[in-house]
Chain A
Amino acid sequence: DAKTTQPTSMDCAEGRAANLPCNHSTISGNEYVYWYRQIHSQGPQYIIHGLKNNETNEMASLIITEDRKSSTLILPHATLRDTAVYYCIFKGDMLTFGGGTRLMVKP
């Protein structure tokens, strides 16, 4: 089964960059890496996805290592509203969510 490994929790100061790592050593060559976040009791929110090139959108940047075994989601200027659980997943037949990283942005 597709599996990712993320730290259970992280803290970040407001206004600083939040760098969330993810290991996905079993990813296959044509599987995209997806990042979602979930704010308490709401549905997961899509953030960004990528295959092998780095990606950037209005929410975040995604850095994928050359061997594709890991990636980092970067929130360039974290705000209090970025406090959430962040999930790194890749899509096989279905999206398999792990435990995610609970990011706490502190003032």
Chain B
Amino acid sequence: DAGITQSPRHKVTETGTPVTLRCHQTENHRYMYWYRQDPGHGLRLIHYSYGVKDTDKGEVSDGYSVSRSKTEDFLLTLESATSSQTSVYFCAISLKGAEQYFGPGTRLTVT
């Protein structure tokens, strides 16, 4: 997985609670991404980062925020989780050009 870890790997939480997912890389790459994957929708970009403290929105950013205080960590926060945010979340990094390598994923269930 190209030196990418995600934590937790599985989480069940209740509607209305905040949740933070962590992506950690050991490759020192500039670009990091958060995607969600749902049946019938493939992979959709939530947010991405192009450097420390530099982030931008993807196509499905509502209800999510991110932070990147150091190169190796990219955090995804659900401020107040909803059932529609039940999904599998993948982090990715860019090694060269647009070629992205993905982490193992986090399965989040919001009840």
Bound together: no
Q: Which residues in A have some Cβ–Cβ distance to B below 8 Å?
A: none
- Which residues of B are interface residues toward A (Cβ below 8 A)? none
